[in-house]
Structure 1
């Protein structure tokens, strides 16, 4: 406790078991050395009883938690060299050692831990709060700047806590009392820019690859089945005009069979390329490869659609062909109709939020707009619509 290194070393030489004895607060000597920042003592204790780096006191903290929250970088580094696993232990309410660093403003320790622990930077506590949420609540401008500017972490601003709020929304809801607060403006700009760039967040890419894999495997299966079992089947015997096993469609409709075969092959090959790109693991960390995989998937989707259209035109009687056209037109009209309605409602909702924020008179707009404003207000009041959406 008082940093008497020589006495500690002498006592440990006489009785090393004392390093494993805790006090009434369940604090071991290593806990105290880590909290007080006595590096040499902590090093000696760790060499005598390395297992104590896992020991928790009555607050649920192990030595690295105490060293981190008090900003003792050297001790944190030394404990990490012994084992990084204790640093990954969560505390009460699900907080991590990184949450402690942000809460107590220990940016230097945070940088060391992020470099060593990597993905722990995305951890949430039991309230769904990320480091970015906590940094905003604690008004930690330097920490926000570090989390946002460090592109190797690509912290996601769109992550919501258990209340459904992003870090930016928490900041906006707690404006400074003084309009000249430059730190508030800078934090808002940083979080706003991060929101705009979040499409390139490499954590989103693995989620996209999962969806991509489902789609392309389905397309590859369809294309494979369509290639082996074309519409009309295959000839079962040899004749002067064809051989057994050849597609009937190639003889009866050669032009359409060529189009369908080309489209089917394009869909299958594009799907295989996408599967190859995804399974190599490269898309998860490189946007270029992810973009290539997405492009190949779009080509596969387009090609399988063309193949389906050609096959359908072959097996559909000419007098009923118009029914296919009507069905396709109805589906397309419905899809685009829903998108147009969504765009209009979304625009009205954004207008309503902006006017509420600026305290403008909502009754000054036309009747249709006022009806929508009334709907939005009632949906928000009943909890069906969040104010941030």
Structure 2
């Protein structure tokens, strides 16, 4: 008899159900303790047999709250298939089923949203709006699920219902990603355009990695980004015209995402190219200065193997003679022999500039995702260090090459360069402090947000 009952459920055969009930009044009761995990109501709801579902609900309404092996109620199955009439009947019988989560942590409203069943979604939101605010174990709301499954129409329905609730729109998952972050990271231009023009979504908010939605969109953009954005702007306008009944619920003041994105991407491109050119130039200068330092090298024209000269240490014009002589061979630097302190200082700053320049070049051509505002800012700070090192190298060279009779002129030049170097140092330190402060604020905001987070 159990087999006949499930055959009737598969076919949606109400007369067969009534015949079975005439033969055994407890046939529906027996289905609850039988070998099948699904009840006849699960099967009928999944297959869309509305008349059969209505009959079972009238005879045994408690079946509406039963769970199958996947912890799904009949409402889950009907919502996934988009049977609005069956959903309404199940909600009238067991409204609490709208808040039940299945094996995957999804309630019927979330199932309808990720399956794109807009009509069912509207019914569920009207009956039990609280189901839309339930978050899963990853801290995701139904908006996150819509974006992950690329269901823009479902997202529009939810925004139409909850568009004025900023906390719902900007809710973040365990990685501090809002729905806007996920849409930008996945390159869903139309979704990004909709969220930024029809809601007050915070497009400056950062996730745990410190990226805004704009940063993530720049990373996910392909060569066809401009056409995609333009098309999405047009489609968004058409959607707003056809959905004028919901437009009154949206806040005014659209955000010009396309203009902002183009400006951001153009700035990153210019900075990337400028850093590559300047780094290449400074690396060449440092390399040449290292092989041919100021004063040149000793030339042994007389055929001697070496030349002995008094050994002095000179740092910025202050000579400190030593008691011993050093042996200079052909090819040794003149600066290193006559003023070792000056030469050592020159070598240190020149090497710093050379290595820093090479580091920038390697990072830019490494293929790593360096075209982000944060990385470009770090490379800019490194470039400041390079330029400062080259300026100090220049000052040391001028000090060595300037005759003692013109020492006053040298002093003026040296003080000017040192003042400029101090300014550059101040800028570098200021930016480092700024980065530290931003990191601390992000950490504090993340901790505060997690404390305020609600769970159901």
Deviations 1:242-283 (A, max 9, x none): xxxxxxxxxxxxxxxxxxxxxxxxxxxxxxxxxxxxxxxxxx
Specify which of 121, 135, 143 is matched with residue 154 of structure 2: 143
Name 1:186's counterpart in structure 2.
190
CA distance in 2, matches of 1:357, 1:192: 26
Counterpart secondary structure, 1:57: coil
> In the superposition, relative to structure 1, how do residues 362 and 157 fare at CA in structure 2: closer, same or farther (>3 Å)?
farther
> In the superposition, relative to structure 1, how do residues 189 and 372 fare at CA in structure 2: closer, same or farther (>3 Å)?
farther
Q: CA deviation at 1:152?
A: 7.2
> In the superposition, relative to structure 1, how do residues 153 and 24 fare at CA in structure 2: closer, same or farther (>3 Å)?
farther
Name 2:373's counterpart in structure 1.
355
How many residues are treated as equivalent by the alignment? 225
Name 2:26's counterpart in structure 1.
17
Gaps of 5+ in 1: 176-183, 199-351
> In the superposition, relative to structure 1, how do residues 169 and 116 fare at CA in structure 2: closer, same or farther (>3 Å)?
same
CA contact (8 A) 2:105 2:137 kept: yes
State the Cα RMSD in Å: 3.4
CA contact (8 A) 1:67 1:75 kept: yes
CA distance in 2, matches of 1:173, 1:19: 50
CA contact (8 A) 1:168 1:191 kept: yes
Q: CA deviation at 1:362?
A: 3.0
> In the superposition, relative to structure 1, how do residues 357 and 138 fare at CA in structure 2: closer, same or farther (>3 Å)?
farther
How do residues 107-256 of structure 1 correspond to structure 2 at under 5 angstroms?
107-150=118-161, 154=165, 156-175=168-187, 184-193=188-197, 196=200
CA contact (8 A) 1:376 1:385 kept: no
More strand by share: 2
CA contact (8 A) 2:180 2:201 kept: no
CA distance in 2, matches of 1:372, 1:353: 23
Counterpart secondary structure, 2:109: helix
Name 2:93's counterpart in structure 1.
82
Q: CA deviation at 1:159?
A: 0.9
Counterpart secondary structure, 2:69: coil
CA contact (8 A) 2:75 2:87 kept: yes
> In the superposition, relative to structure 1, how do residues 76 and 383 fare at CA in structure 2: closer, same or farther (>3 Å)?
same
Q: CA deviation at 1:31?
A: 0.9
Deviations 1:281-310 (A, max 9, x none): xxxxxxxxxxxxxxxxxxxxxxxxxxxxxx
Is it true that 1:5 corresponds to 2:14 in the alignment?
A: yes
Range moving further from structure 2, 357-366 or 161-170: 357-366
CA distance in 1, matches of 2:443, 2:201: 29
Q: CA deviation at 1:110?
A: 0.8
Counterpart secondary structure, 1:16: coil
Q: CA deviation at 1:194?
A: 5.6
CA contact (8 A) 1:55 1:63 kept: yes
Name 1:99's counterpart in structure 2.
110
Q: CA deviation at 1:360?
A: 8.6
> In the superposition, relative to structure 1, how do residues 78 and 358 fare at CA in structure 2: closer, same or farther (>3 Å)?
farther
CA contact (8 A) 1:148 1:190 kept: no
Counterpart secondary structure, 2:154: helix
Name 2:250's counterpart in structure 1.
none
Query: Which 4+ stretches in 1 moved above 4 angstroms?
Result: 357-361, 376-380, 382-386
Specify which of 59, 67, 71 is matched with residue 56 of structure 1: 67
Specify which of 32, 37, 48 is matched with residue 26 of structure 1: 37
CA contact (8 A) 2:146 2:155 kept: yes
Is it true that 1:70 corresponds to 2:70 in the alignment?
A: no
CA contact (8 A) 1:362 1:370 kept: no
Name 1:234's counterpart in structure 2.
none
CA distance in 1, matches of 2:48, 2:376: 50
CA contact (8 A) 1:157 1:194 kept: no
CA distance in 1, matches of 2:433, 2:150: 37
